[in-house]
Structures are given as C-alpha cells and as structure tokens.
Amino acid sequence: MSTPSIALIPSGYKEGLLYSQLPINGDGDLDFARTTIANRVNEQGVNEEMAVNMPRLDYSEGGCPVLLLEPSRKNLFLNSEVGVTQSITVVSGVDYAVSFSGNGSITFSGGASGTLNGTGSTATDRVSQIVTTSSTSVTCTISGTVEYVNFEINTDDSSVVVSTSWIETNGTIETRAKDISTKTGLQNYINSSEGTFYFYGKALADSSNTRYISLSDNSNNNFIQIRISNSNVLQVRTFKGGGGLESISSTSTNTLNYYKCAIVWDDTKLAFFVNGIKIQEKSVDNSYPINTLDTLTFNNGFVVGGSNYEGKVKEFEVYTTAYTDSEAIDLTTI
Amino acid sequence: MAKIGKYEFDSLEQANTKINALGEEHNHTIVKLGFLADSTKYSVDVLWQGIESHPYGWATKSVDVDGNGVHKFAGVSYQENKM
C-alpha cells in the first residue's frame, strides 16, 4: 500500500485547528469552528468544557478519542449540572431528547409520561430517552442522583431523534452551536485524476437529514461525497464538470456502528468499498482535471453550513493513487 | 467574532419569512424561543457569524434585554457581543 497524502487520526488540536498526521508541514490540518462553548467527555471520563472554536476529542466510548461533530441544540433544563425537579415549557407534539448521568431517575408528568432510570454515576454512564410531548408543559420529577441533564431540542423547535453531549445551563435556556470542519487549498494533496478516499467513523443517529463528507472544488460542479441519505443509506456520489451524477449505495451498512469505507476513482472506474466488501464498481471516467479537487469538508462541499456531517470520526485518509480491489478491501476491513 | 441579536416578531410566520430569506448558505445559529411568558411577540435569538450589522429587515425587530435575557448562547455573553 502507498502512503496517504493526507492522514488524520484525531489527536492534536488547538483553537480553530485539528492537526493532521500527514502531510507533516501542516497543510492538511483541518480548520474548525463552533461559535459557542461545548462539553466533551475527556480522557479521565468526566465532562470538560471546551472553548469556542475548540475541536472536541471525545472519550465517552473509552479507548482512543474520536472527533465529535454535533448539530446545534438548545437545552431547556435549567441548572443542569445537578438536576432538581422542575416544569419545562415545551412545544406540544414534538420529540425531545432527555439524557443524564447518575443512579437516580427522572419521571415525566403533565405533557409527557414515563421514567428514565440512570445506570451509573460517571459521565460515560449516560442514559437517554426520546420524550414526545402532548401539551405545552412537562414536569420532570427528580429522584436520587441526576447530573448533567439535557432536555434538548433543535434550535428551530423541530423534533430530535437522539441526545447529544451535555449542555450546561444555569438560570436560562442555553444553546450549543454546531461543529464545523473544513479545509481548502489541498490541490497538492488530492490527485484529481485518480485517488482513494478512506473514512472511518459513524453517524450520531438515523435521521431524516442528509449528511456529507466531501472532496470538492468548493462548488457544486465537482465533488466526491460520502453521503448518509435521508433514509440512512450510506452512499458515494460524484459530480464532474457540473454534470454526470454517479452514485453507489451500500444499503446493508448500519451507519450507527463504526464503519470503514473507501472511494476509488480514476479515468476508468468509480468503486465503493465498505467494511472489507466491494459494494460496486462502475465503468466510468471519474477523473477530474488536474487541481480540480482542493477542498475537504464535513458537509456537502458547496453550501456553507449545508448538510453537515453529524457523527464521530476515527480516521480519514486521502491517497493519490487508485487502490486496487485487494488494497481497498484490506484498507476497509474492520 | 460572532454577534448576538435578539428579535421579536409579530408571529411565527413573520419570523419564518425572515429566517427563510437568509437562505441555506450560512453558519448563523438561529434559535426560536416562541411566545415567552405573556408576550404577544414571537422571540428569536441569533448568533450571527461573519456579519457586523443586522441583515435587511431584521433591525426593526431587534430588541435589547438585561443580562442575557431568558436564553443564552453557551459561553457567549450577550452584553459583550450584541449586534
């Protein structure tokens, strides 16, 4: 196997930057933005506040850290570090995600019902539940130890399907902004005429939103995308010279589990590999003019803030050669 | 640096019209707060990214509050960063 031109395993970071391992001159370091503070579970297994524009290397699953990319959310639960019984004004008929750490429980009444029971006292013992409201007020009755509580919803008050990291609140509702990561100027490290793009990660949730990771020319004319569709199908999509959309889908991949995938392209083919299996190869000219692809984004690659990837990233690599089938299978075998 | 704006619209529909006019190509964080307490106005907070003044049509709906009001953006003071 050849050496990647870009390789990133989340490990080093500073404000606004996530360091790549290759190239060693820093040209492949990802720009990072989030306009609010946010929390992560650190290597000691406790919640830690991360400053504005600071990438979050998350240890909530133990082992090596992953880059956490989450959507914007607002937390309606006040004084959320140590939960106390309270009534929350909500929108009726909407799905909220409730989560906490601790051995206690939250019992819902009023506009919701049921009980969420805790399983442990550490930040990694977080439990969660989706609560559907039936009126405009929900009472959360706390019993026992309930800490780091979220009663969260999208910022436009639309339903959520999964809980996210703890959002600290005091006397007011608080919003955490979304995580954004991009890098332009990579034309010396992406071989537009042929290459291999490898990604290892997972989605936060099944969702009705499309989510992308893209190599592109920062427009909608030329791109190579890994996409999780609004029906949660893992896909590769390519677009060249403003036309000729090609797509390959892996319908059997559960993106809630960590998966490894690779896209291989050159002037004779487009191929897609997932978890050591060749999904499909199309006999098409998928080469791009030299220096066309110069941007890597955790979104659709052509709309600022468009269809952000929401998930956890363990690794990605870009190679300047089109891998053979056996190389791509080796690369993506879990 | 991001700037915070707080707005009161006559209705949810009026708020949606202004929000939709921003299009999809932005990284602003728009938070719908609804009709707060006994207010007849629909409240929206925005953490604007990359602009220094209210977009067209938003300034007339802008309001000022003490402290952070009933909602804040995590770690970002309204008083220190208001539009």
Give A229-273 pLDDT, tens digit per residue. Answer: 999 999 999 999 998 999 999 999 999 999 999 999 999 999 999
Pairing of the two strands A173-176 and B71-73: parallel
Q: Which of residues 4-23 of B touch A (CB under 8 A)?
A: none
CB of A70 within 8 Å of a chain B CB? The answer is no
CB A5 within 8 A of CB A319: yes
CB pairs under 8 A between A and B: 77
Predicted local confidence at residue A1, as pLDDT: 75
pLDDT tens digit sequence for A175-189: 999 999 999 999 999
Query: Which is higher by pLDDT, A122 or A199?
Result: A199
Average pLDDT value for residue range A24-46? 97
Q: In chain B, what are the domain boundaries?
A: 3-81
Count CB atoms within 10 A of the CB of residue A140. Answer: 25
Predicted local confidence at residue A303, as pLDDT: 72
What is the C-alpha to C-alpha distance for residues A67 and A59, in angstroms, rounded to an integer? 9
Identify each DSSP E strand in A90-233 by its residue range. Answer: 95-101, 105-110, 114-117, 127-132, 137-143, 147-153, 173-176, 180-183, 195-203, 211-216, 223-228
Q: Which tokens is B64 given?
A: 């000022």
What is the C-alpha to C-alpha distance for residues A151 and A166, in angstroms, rounded to an integer? 10
Q: Which of residues 275-304 of A touch B (CB under 8 A)?
A: 303-304
Q: Which tokens is A222 given?
A: 């030329």
Q: Which residues of B touch A172 (CB under 8 A)?
A: 68-72
CB A153 within 8 A of CB A73: yes
Q: Which residues of A touch B31 (CB under 8 A)?
A: 72, 74, 155, 175
Above 70 in pLDDT, residue A45?
yes
Q: How confident is the model at residue A305 (pLDDT cuts 50, 70, 90)?
A: low
φ/ψ (deg, to 5) at A73:
-150, 150
Q: Which residues of B touch A37 (CB under 8 A)?
A: 74-76
Q: What percent of chain A has pLDDT over 90?
A: 93
Predicted local confidence at residue B37, as pLDDT: 85
φ/ψ (deg, to 5) at A322:
-80, 115
Asked if B75's CB is within 8 angstroms of A305's CB, the reply is: no
Above 0.90 for ipTM, yes or no? yes
Count CB atoms within 10 A of the CB of residue A221. Answer: 15
φ/ψ (deg, to 5) at A11:
-150, -50
pLDDT tens digit sequence for A111-139: 999 999 999 888 889 999 999 999 999 99
CB of A37 within 8 Å of a chain B CB? The answer is yes
Distance from CA of A176 to the nearest CA of B (A): 6
Among positive and negative, which fits the CA dihedral A190, A192, A196, A199?
A: positive
Predicted local confidence at residue B25, as pLDDT: 79
Predicted local confidence at residue B1, as pLDDT: 75
The H or E element containing residue A57 is strand A57-58
Output the tens digit of pLDDT for each of chain B's 83 residues. 799 999 999 999 999 999 999 987 788 999 999 999 889 999 999 999 999 999 999 999 999 999 999 999 999 999 999 99
- The residue among A218, A219, A252 whose CA lies nearest residue A235 is A252
What is the C-alpha to C-alpha distance for residues A191 and A289, in angstroms, rounded to an integer? 9
Q: Which residues of B touch A303 (CB under 8 A)?
A: 24-25
